[in-house]
Amino acid sequence: MAALRERMVPWYEINKRDLPWRRTSDPYKLVAAELMLQQTGVDRIAPRWVRFVERFPSWQAVASATVGDVIREWQGLGYNRRAVSLHRMARAVVERFGGHLPADRRELLKLPGVGPYTANAILSFVHKLDEPAIDVNLRRVIGRLAFGDPGAPIADVERVARAAIPPGRGSDWNQALMDLAALHCTLRRPSCLLCPLRDVCKTANGAVAAPPPRLARAAAERRAGYYQSTRYQRGKVVDLLRDADTLSAAEIGERLDADPLAGSYELGALLAGLVRDGLIEEGVPAGCYRLP
């Protein structure tokens, strides 16, 4: 789509959101923001990112900290496994690459916590290469524009995205699509009349602009299912250990039982899973737990 290639960067230069990580070119700080933003909203991330990179300003600072220190500073960001991933990634970057983030996709994919999307995001936002960084929001935008379907096959979306990136402006182009997704092409009630691509959008010019009921219903079900879920219970245990040096399994169980949102759980399996994922560790004496 010529319009997707020609209009997005000029639109972005005028309308881009003022986000704190857009004021730095430091690879570590950009990666920290990227990990935080995965599955967590910008408004929630922005102040926490500033505080986090003040506490841990470099790969070396994260790598030399304990996992527990990183998890404590991650409080309020959700998905605590991302804190563990950032710590492991920092150690790998320091130990294997001398503190310099590689620009080779194969090397990036060997780093802890880096999958295909994160590798593309690093290549685009850190190394300024013309790589599409297709997350769920960009897939929705390009799906609506090019196919009239926010759930269009990812391979088709990536093909369109790669062809639409203006040479040398891949980073700004990806950021532009992210801002379009946040400001106009939202999941529910997109503001099509204000969209700079309305005239060429297949959804705005024939298909239904609102998301298919299956997508809206699935999002609602995910929100409703959070409480009384294993994810909630795991986060609760980590929060308990943020505020206490050590707790016994019995103390953790008592506090979970007192939380009406925790629901039913099997304590041994819950704790074993957290230990396996590196989020907590069993201390001394046996049966007591703490952050790593």
pLDDT tens figures, 90-117: 999 999 999 999 999 999 999 998 999 9
Asked whether residue 210 carries a pLDDT value surpassing 50, the answer given is no
pLDDT of amino acid 221: 43
34 is catalytic: yes
Provide the percentage of residues in the chain whose pLDDT is more than 90: 62
**Residue of 6, 13, 34, 282 with catalytic role:** 34
For residues 57-77, give the mean pLDDT: 94
pLDDT of amino acid 262: 83
Asked whether residue 78 carries a pLDDT value surpassing 70, the answer given is yes
Indicate the range of 17-31, 186-200, 255-269 predicted with least confidence. Answer: 255-269
Asked whether residue 183 carries a pLDDT value surpassing 90, the answer given is yes
pLDDT of amino acid 142: 96
Domain regions of the chain by residue span: 1-212, 230-290
Asked whether residue 214 carries a pLDDT value surpassing 70, the answer given is no
pLDDT of amino acid 232: 84
Q: Which CATH architecture is the domain 1-212 placed in?
A: Orthogonal Bundle (1.10)
Q: What are the DSSP calls for the chain, one per residue?
A: -HHHHHHHHHHHHHH----GGGG---HHHHHHHHHHHTTS-HHHHHHHHHHHHHHS-SHHHHHHS-HHHHHHHTTTS--THHHHHHHHHHHHHHHHHTT-----HHHHHTSTT--HHHHHHIIIIIT--------HHHHHHHIIIIIS-TT--HHHHHHHHHHHSPTT-HHHHHHHHHHHHHHTS-SSS--GGG-TTGGG-TTTTTS-SSPPHHHHHHHHHHHHTSTTSHHHHHHHHHHHHHS-S-EEHHHHHHHHHT-TTS----HHHHHHHHHHTTS-EE-SSTTEEE--
Looking at domain 230-290, does it have CATH number 1.10.20? no
For residues 48-57, give the mean pLDDT: 96
pLDDT of amino acid 200: 94
Asked whether residue 252 carries a pLDDT value surpassing 70, the answer given is yes
